[in-house]
Amino acid sequence: MKKKRMSIGFAAPAFVIYTMLLVIPIMMAFYFSLNKWNGFNAMQFIGIENYINVFRDARLGNAVINTLIISVVVIIFVNVLGLFLAMLVNTASVKSNIFRTIFFIPFVLSTVAISFVWKSILSYNGVLNGMLTTFGQEGLIGNWLGSHGSAIVCIIIVEIWRTLGYHMMLYLAALQTVPHELYEACTVDGGNRWNKFRHVTLPLIVPGMTVSFLMSIINELRMYDVVKIMTDGGPGYDTETIVYNIVSQGFSNSMVGYSSAISVVLFLAIGAISVFIVTKMNQKEVEM
Amino acid sequence: MKAKKRAVTILQTVFLIILAVIVLLPIYIAISNTFKVSDIILDQPLSLPIPPTIQNIVSVIKSPNTNMLEMYRNSTILMVAGTALTVIVSSMAAYYLARVKTKFSGMLRVYFLIGIMVPYVIVYMPLCILLRNLSIPFGVPVLIFVFVSGNISFATFMYTNYIHSLPIELEEAAEIDGATRFQVFWKILFPLLRPCTTTIAIFVGLGIWNDFQTPLLLGQIKTITVGIYTAVGPYSADWGVVFAYVFFAAMPVILVYLVAQKNFVNGLTAGALKG
């Protein structure tokens, strides 16, 4: 039989599009990051100066801290509550199905739509304060999105509300891989609810947990839409995130070289975190 | 013992109901207030819209700085063309990657995989400059390809794994019958990829429909999301109109989701689980 050779032509269209519009721009970003450039004038090669500035930039430092605060709270919340919810709805009943459907709705909606709805609720002249007035609780009225401290809490609440159902679904998929016999075996051995959770469920869902953690970290580190619409980074720089900072330095302030340097660092950080978590969790899986 | 168990079940249900109310409340506020006049929204945000008014919807449609039809058209073209193109080029690339076992194919596989980790913000600025220098006008056509480039990593990865799990005998049999590689792929293999294609289409399609950053930063293309953002503006507090805009953006998605719920969940979580 004459073996026909598989043509590289099958991979060519994907290769061209991917290279042209993703790989080359990334390489350009690396190159820009070594230059001082506003996008129009002549480029000036300055080596790693942009990278040195990245670590000295107080405004960026603030954005990093904001991103970390938002990320840590959201990640812990959606993973703990997501797993808990998944365990509650992990039955094949109509009731569970309805709850699953409801909890997942926010995740299919666009962040733009969601952000505007929450903005209308939390704004100073918004629905929440309107309700407080109606109930005669004027004392409780606050400028939720416009005050130091409460603005970032609002962002966190919206992010949790938006992604909780997604993480519930990830955990649900993981829970459904746990064989039922193991729970029965645990009962026979005199194990209670906690034992079942600690010694059966937890060790077996480590892969699902890795995925859920990783996705929440990646999602939160890329935070932009909700902040852009709800607070526009404000008040002051109170809710500015890393990605918001990159866009604003690059597009509003025309600091192409510098903003590229920040995004390169973010790229490397996300890559490093991903590799770290995957290897760490793989070890845990063996230990448990 | 039995009573205790029942108490726990009731407690769980109560907890789930409370949480469901919290999840649904903002959505309820948005939908019901779309059909109320703005004055009553702040006084009675939770009341049902009786009698309903379509004043907000009408003012959105008639608004001089929004062209709903154009926004829907742009978003739909981007979603349909972007998804179709992603499916076509990625499945073809995956066919090569899964069935050819050479060093080059292995390297190509890794090359395509790198894109999964990229925070997309790194690409916007260079892309703008690239398009400007090549004098390619910003617009829907080029944006289609940008969306495809951003989704190739994920789609190729999914397809490659899926093709690996399929037996190769069917393709070999077709080849013995004289089919060309091209025919084998489109007539034999591609129909078998349907479950995977559904998953990818939902993930990619919904991603494009909901994307805000890409059309905003690459030429302010008036998609639904960007159109609403520019129409409402940062300082508007005419919530009835804002809700009407949100209604236009979210309604199609909610309706499709309720009909094809299982596919949505698979589409949006499978990517993460396989990765």
Residue found by looking up tokens 């209604």 in the block: B247
Q: What is the pLDDT of residue A2?
A: 42
Q: Which residue of B has its CA nearest to A242?
A: B121
Question: Residue B179: which domain range?
Answer: 63-233
Pairwise CB contact (< 8 Å): B29 & A39: no
What average pLDDT does the segment A97-125 reach?
90
pLDDT tens-digit readout, B215-231: 999 988 899 999 888 88
pLDDT band of A5, cuts 50, 70, 90 = low
For the whole model, what pTM was predicted?
0.88
Q: Which two structure tokens, joined as six digits, stand for A24?
A: 């080359």
The reply to whether residue B212 touches residue A112, judged by beta carbons under 8 angstroms, is yes
Residue B25 falls inside a structural domain: no
Residue B132 in any domain: the answer is yes
**B54-87: burial string, b at 16+ Cβ within 10 Å, e else:** eebbeebeeeeebebeebbebbeebbebbbebbb
A60 close to A245: Cβ distance less than 8 angstroms? yes
pLDDT of the residue at A3: 47
DSSP sequence for A259-279 = HHHHHHHHHHHHHHHHHHHHH
Answer whether A217's CB lies under 8 Å from A230's CB.
no
Q: Is the pLDDT of residue B274 over 60?
A: no
- Predicted local confidence at residue A288, as pLDDT: 57
Let me know if residue B24 belongs to a domain: no
Instruction: Report yes or no: A275 at the B interface, CB cutoff 8 Å.
Output: no
Tell me the pLDDT tens digit for each residue of A196-252: 888 888 888 888 888 888 888 888 888 899 999 898 887 888 899 999 999 998 888
Handedness of CA A225, A98, A198, A173 (dihedral sign): negative
Backbone angles phi, psi at A44, to 5 degrees: -125, 120
Question: Would you say residue A18 has pLDDT above 90?
Answer: yes
Option in A14, A127, A173 nearest B90 (CB): A14
Residue A125 to chain B, least CA–CA distance (Å):
7
Single-letter residue type at B267 = G
pLDDT value of position A12? 92
Task: Kindly report the backbone phi and psi dihedral angles of residue A240, in degrees, each rounded to the nearest multiple of 5, phi listed first.
Answer: -70, 130
User: What is the identity of the amino acid at A30?
Assistant: F
Residues of B in contact with A127 (CB under 8 A): 29, 33, 41-42, 45, 239
Collect all residues of chain A within an 8 Å Cβ-Cβ radius of residue B27.
Answer: 105-106, 117
B180 falls within a domain: yes
Which CA distances in Å does A200 have to A90, A171, A176, A179, A191?
A: 15, 15, 13, 9, 10
Which 3 state secondary structure label does DSSP give A57?
coil
Does the pLDDT value for residue A286 go beyond 70? no
Contact (CB, 8 A) for B200 and B87: yes
Residue A285, pLDDT > 70, answer: no
Residue B169 lies in a domain: yes
Q: What are the chain A neighbours of B43 within 8 Å (beta carbons)?
A: 130, 134
DSSP string, B79-113: HHHHHHHHHHHHHHHHHHHHH--SHHHHHHHHHHH
| Coil, helix or strand at residue A127 | helix
Q: Tell me which of A30, A99, A112 to substitute to probe the interface with B (most B C-beta atoms closer than 10 Å).
A: A112
Res. A125: pLDDT tops 50: yes
Contact B239 A127 (CB under 8 A): yes
Task: Reply yes or no on whether the pLDDT at A161 is more than 80.
Answer: yes
Report the residue count for chain B. Answer: 275
**What percent of chain A has a predicted confidence (pLDDT) above 70?**
96
Contact A32 B126 (CB under 8 A): yes
**Quick check: A95 pLDDT over 60?**
yes
**Listed residue (B214, B242, B237, B253) closest to B72, CA to CA:** B253
Ordered domains of chain A (ranges, CATH): 51-287 (1.10.3720.10)
- Which CATH number is B160's domain given? 1.10.3720.10
**A243–B119: do the CB atoms touch at under 8 Å?**
yes
Specify the number of domains making up chain B: 1
CA of B56 vs chain A CAs: smallest distance (Å): 15
Helix (H) or strand (E) holding A171, with range, is: helix A150-175
Nearest to B104 by CA among A6, A97, A135, A170: A6
CA-CA distances (angstroms) from residue A173 to A31, A78, A176, A207, B236?
42, 15, 5, 11, 42
Q: What is the pLDDT of residue A71?
A: 93
Section A123-128 average pLDDT: 84
Burial level of A19, CB count in 10 A (0-12/13-18/19+)? middle
Give the C-alpha separation, A133 to B45, whole Å: 12
Q: For a pLDDT cut of 90, what percent of chain B falls above it?
A: 35
Q: Mutating which of A1, A5, A8, A22 best tests the B interface, going by the most B Cβ atoms within 10 A?
A: A22
- pLDDT surpasses 80 at B42: no
Alpha carbon of A256 to those of A44, A67, A265, B134, B228: distances in Å?
A: 12, 22, 14, 18, 28
Of B45, B92, B152, the CB nearest to A10: B92
Query: Which pLDDT band holds residue A4 (cuts at 50, 70, 90)?
Result: low
Residue B147 included in any domain: yes
- A270:B127 CB<8 A: no
Instruction: Pick the more confident residue, B64 or B152.
Output: B152
Q: Which two tokens stand for residue B16?
A: 């789930």
Which residues of chain A make contact with B22, given a CB cutoff of 8 A?
161
Does A127 contact B148 at a Cβ distance shorter than 8 Å? Answer: no
Whether A251 and chain B come into contact, CB under 8 Å, resolves to yes
Distance in Å, alpha carbon of B126 to nearest chain A alpha carbon: 5
Which among A8, A18, A125 has CB closest to B112? A18
Q: What percent of chain B stands above pLDDT 70?
A: 97
Q: Provide the pLDDT for residue B272.
A: 63
* Token pair in block for residue B68: 């709903």
Q: Is A135 helix (H, G, I), strand (E, B) or coil?
A: coil
In a domain, B75, yes or no: yes
Task: Give the pLDDT confidence of B181-219 residue by residue, as tens digits.
Answer: 888 889 889 999 998 998 899 889 999 999 999 999 998
ipTM of the complex in this document: 0.88
Say whether A3 sits in a helix, a strand or coil. Answer: coil
A91 touches chain B (CB under 8 A): no
- What is the pLDDT, as a whole number, of residue B275? 45
Mean pLDDT of chain A: 87
CB atoms within 10 A of CB A87: 16
Q: Is A243 on the interface with B (CB under 8 A)?
A: yes
State how far residue A220 is from chain B, nearest Cα, in angstroms. Answer: 11
Look at residue B271 and tell me whether its pLDDT is greater than 70: no
